[in-house]
Amino acid sequence: MITIRSSQERGVAKIDWLFSRHTFSFGNYHDPNFMGFSDLRVINEDQVQPAKGFGTHRHSNMEIISYVLEGALQHKDSIGTGSIIRPSDVQRMSAGTGISHSEFNASATDFVHFLQIWILPSITGIAPSYEQKTFSPEEKQGKLLLVGSADGREGSITIHQDVNFYASLLSEAETVSHTLEANRVVWLQVASGQVLVNDYLLSAGDGAAITEESLITLEGNSSSTEVLMFEMAA
């Protein structure tokens, strides 16, 4: 079964420096039908104006992933990490017992466009930690590249939950498939372009909950499509 979450149905947050779309309930946006999916709790698509951003704030007991689509995002936190996150980078911050951080647009002239993803951890009270890795477009082209997993295998970032996080770039008519085992489910998020998912057409910003399917086939339906896939326990 494939249930589509349309881009235009998502929640909206808009202030002078931020435009954000919320796939699931977040902040002032609340929809009891969209509180998350399996262990996936948040997918926010944020566009931040130049030299603006989120001031220092605190999190605990959450796996937080930042995935930049355009521009550059500057990260600083209370465990001494400072970095710039750009397209092709995947950043994971485990909040654990508590961490404070800030996120700002690193450019004085250009917008930064990124996805912030929260995943509930399998264990609480761990020491806060940070990890960032780069996965080139060539590595993601025409395949589902594992970029995050519970055990950090195949060079992926380590996520403290039973989740396999894949990223893919697809050209027009390019196809990839994924076999889904029993008691596993998938959330698919289209970052850019268009994709056919088992013959359902999804566009940028759309998401899909996929359950009770044994095979997922993705086919690019535009010159360039970027897709994120989260496989989790049912």
Structural domains for the chain: 10-135 (2.60.120.10), 138-233 (2.60.120.10)
CA distances from 72 to 6, 91, 111, 156, 190 (A): 27, 12, 8, 21, 20
Compute the average pLDDT of residues 65-86.
95
Compute the average pLDDT of residues 188-214.
97
Percent of the chain with pLDDT over 70: 100
Residue partners of 141: CB distance under 8 A and separation at least 6? 169, 170, 171
pLDDT at 227 over 90: yes
Q: Could you tell me which of 226, 231, 184 has the C-alpha nearest to residue 67? A: 226
pLDDT class of 62 with cuts at 50, 70, 90: very high
| Confidence at residue 199, expressed as pLDDT on a 0 to 100 scale | 87
| Confidence at residue 202, expressed as pLDDT on a 0 to 100 scale | 98
Sign of CA dihedral 214, 211, 45, 19: positive
pLDDT in tens, 78-117: 999 999 999 999 999 999 999 999 999 999 999 999 999 9
Q: Could you tell me which of 204, 209, 206, 208 has the C-alpha nearest to residue 226? A: 204
pLDDT in tens, 5-52: 999 999 999 999 999 999 999 999 999 999 999 999 999 999 999 999
Compute the average pLDDT of residues 153-178.
98
Distance, in Å, from the CA atom of 72 to the CA atom of 75, rounded to the nearest integer, reads: 10
pLDDT in tens, 172-188: 999 999 999 999 999 99
Tokens (6 digits) for 138? 């060539």
219 bridge partner residues: 175, 196
228 bridge partner residues: 167, 189
91-130 residues labelled b (16+ CB within 10 A) or e (exposed) = bbbbbbeebebebbbbbeeeebbbbbbbbbbeeeeeebeb
**Confidence (pTM):** 0.96
Compute the average pLDDT of residues 122-142.
97
